[in-house]
Chains A and B, each alone.
Chain A
Amino acid sequence: MLIRTGDNGFVHPQASEITPQAVYEERRQWLRTVAAGAAGATLAGWAARDARAAMERPGKLAALPGAPSQVAGANTMEAPTAYKDATQYNNYYEFGLDKADPARNAHTLKTTPWSVKVEGLVAKPRTFGLEELLKLSAQEERIYRLRCVEGWSMVIPWVGYSLAQLLREVQPLGSAKYVEFVTLADPKVMPGLRSRVLDWPYTEALRLDEAMHPLTLLSFGMYGEVLPAQNGAPVRLVVPWKYGFKSAKSLVAIRLTDKQPGTAWNKAARNEYGFYSNVNPEVPHPRWSQATERRIGEGGLFAKKRPTLLFNGYGEQVAQMYAGMDLKQQF
């Protein structure tokens, strides 16, 4: 049957009648929250964890709102991990080796005043005060999956902006090929520095194109508030397609270099923690398979682990940077 509409298909809705994407996504988020809330009310305990994570505003630290990011791939639709779990289950060896240590010990970290030196192969080396950094670009909220090399994962709503925004300010020279990140190593407030597990200060590095990728986030907050000390306050890196240890916390310096810098974990165990450390289910760690991961707070004790995705699921955005590389050799 022919359906006649009277306009012969020539009348299109006006732009103003189309629901903006942000509003549409907000509605979806609202529906998800309500649905999760209903589930949480009926299924106590374990099942409620996801729902609580999606609903609660932590209200612990200063607010740092961010507008939903427009960067492709920056907003996963998965339920965020509970704030409590994301802030009490941390690897931050400067504050202790146990995952409960950072939450216990990091309160001594003083984040004001704070500055980040950006130096090396750049036309305009500069030291940025934290206030300047916060205002350098609009704050965006990005919901990223976080995959730890230990085989667990979280979903965290970060607040910040692309590192590229900062790097453009200092104008990298043509000779710059790598970006090194140096983190705080203050023995007065960091009891973990006494252990010789790593070569302090903790350093990490990316290739320049990785550092300039729009998904590479310079983060100042999470869950709509400033970063808790144990999560790398006041400013850290988040590289969502790499294992968590690549995302250096509490940054004090960013250096552009022409040679591949040594990195803390690579120096500690070269065969276990490669320079690239892209999330890859095909490249097992010597002591554990990377094929699956445990999403923190998801399901009960008996919940099956979920399969790990190549590049942590960000392949569409980042895979082209590794074209022609053997990711098993250059892991």
Chain B
Amino acid sequence: MRAAAPRWKAAFMHPAAKPLVFALCLLPFAQLLYGAVFDTLGANPAEALLRATGDWTLRFLCVALAVTPARVLLGLPALARFRRMLGLFVYFYAVTHLLCYALFDQGMDLAEIWRDTLERPFILVGMLAFVLLTALAATSPQRMLRLLGGRRWQWLHRSIYAVAGLALLHFFWMRAGKNDFAEVAVYAAVIALLLGWRLQRWLRKRRAA
């Protein structure tokens, strides 16, 4: 066991690891694309795409937030190499989600989208989360980190916690009328666990200092 562990951990440093994870992250997108082209998404493909891309945005958000706890708890510093990529995949699925809404739900009518955003709090909350994610994605290159300075960059990137809250609220409100909160509760529990771990670590550090 002891001998096997380092080799298992070394796999994360393998040159093929990153491309492999990248391909895995694209898999849900490829599946949806296949479904859209070959008409296997059921009676209402527009709705299926809108929901699936929303689900995958939330899932990738959970995965991206899980990188740091997993890195510390498993003693796997190599995981840090994947964090930016996973974060950008959150943005990628958020973009596809927004595009599905704009194209299939609103027919790309910008005036209508604007009105819908202002009239419906759950859309507004989703849009806010998207704006924040855009700022994070735009400042993800190393160059932007140097330009902003570490402290300011980190402060900005902590808004991912706000994104998580807004995304949950968006999903909760979407389901509210049908009193169907089972899935919302699962995402809320995962996100609460991941943020709770950070909070607890931060409190311990502060006490130690």
Known: A287-B122, A287-B173. A304 touches B107 (CB 8 A): yes
Give the chain A neighbours of B44 by CB distance below 8 A: 89, 99, 152, 294, 296
Out of B116, B120, B122, B180, name the residue touching A197 (CB < 8 Å): B180
Report yes or no: B107 in contact with A305, Cβ–Cβ below 8 A: yes
Which B residues lie within 8 Å of A97 (CB)?
178, 180
Find out whether the CB atom of A285 lies under 8 angstroms from the CB atom of B45. Answer: no
Query: At the interface, yes or no: A272 with Cβ under 8 Å from chain B?
Result: yes
Chain A neighbourhood of B107, CB < 8 A: 302, 304-305
Q: How many angstroms from the CA of A93 to the CA of B86 in the assembled complex?
A: 36
Instruction: Kindly list chain B residues whose C-beta atoms are within 8 Å of the C-beta of A286.
Output: 120, 177
Give B122's nearest chain A residue, CB to CB: A287
Query: Which residues of chain B come closer than 8 Å to A15, judged between CB atoms?
Result: none
**How far apart sit A297 and B104, CA to CA, in the bound complex (Å)?**
14
Cβ of B174: which chain A residues have Cβ within 8 Å of it? Answer: 287
In the complex with contacts A287-B122, A302-B103, A88-B178 CB distance below 8 A: no
Could you tell me the distance in whole angstroms from the C-beta of A229 to the nearest C-beta in chain B?
A: 17
Are B177 and A294 neighbours in the complex by a CB distance under 8 Å? Answer: no
A269 touching B43 in the complex, CB below 8 Å, given contacts A288-B120, A302-B103, A304-B107 = no
Assess whether B43 is in contact with A85, with CB atoms less than 8 Å apart: yes
Residues B176-197 near A (CB distance < 8 A): 176-180, 182
Question: Residue B137 at the A interface, CB < 8 A?
Answer: no
With both beta carbons as reference points, the residue of chain B lying nearest to A285 in the complex is identified as B177
Could you tell me if A100 and B179 are in contact, using CB atoms closer than 8 angstroms?
A: no
Across the interface, name the chain A residue whose C-beta is closest to B106: A305
Please tell me the number of chain A residues within 8 Å of chain B, measured between CB atoms: 32
Please, what's the 1-or-0 string for A244-280, where 1 marks a CB less than 8 Å from any CB in chain B? 0000000000000000000000001100110000000
Contacting A at CB under 8 A, from B158-182, are: 173-174, 176-180, 182
Q: Of residues 188 to 208 in A, which have CB atoms within 8 Å of B's CB atoms?
A: 195-198
Please report which residues of chain B, range 106-142, place their CB below 8 angstroms from some CB of chain A when the two chains form the complex.
107, 116, 119-120, 122
Do A302 and B104 contact each other (CB < 8 Å), given the known contacts A286-B177, A287-B122, A287-B173? yes
Residues A89 and B42 in contact, CB atoms below 8 Å apart? yes
9 closest A-B pairs by CB: A89-B43, A85-B43, A197-B179, A272-B177, A304-B107, A296-B43, A97-B180, A269-B177, A287-B122
Given contacts A152-B47, A305-B107, list 16 more A-B pairs with CB under 8 A.
Answer: A45-B39, A89-B44, A97-B178, A195-B180, A195-B182, A197-B178, A197-B180, A272-B177, A284-B119, A287-B177, A288-B120, A294-B44, A301-B45, A301-B46, A302-B103, A302-B104
List chain B positions with a Cβ less than 8 A from chain A: 36, 39, 42-47, 49, 103-105, 107, 116, 119-120, 122, 173-174, 176-180, 182
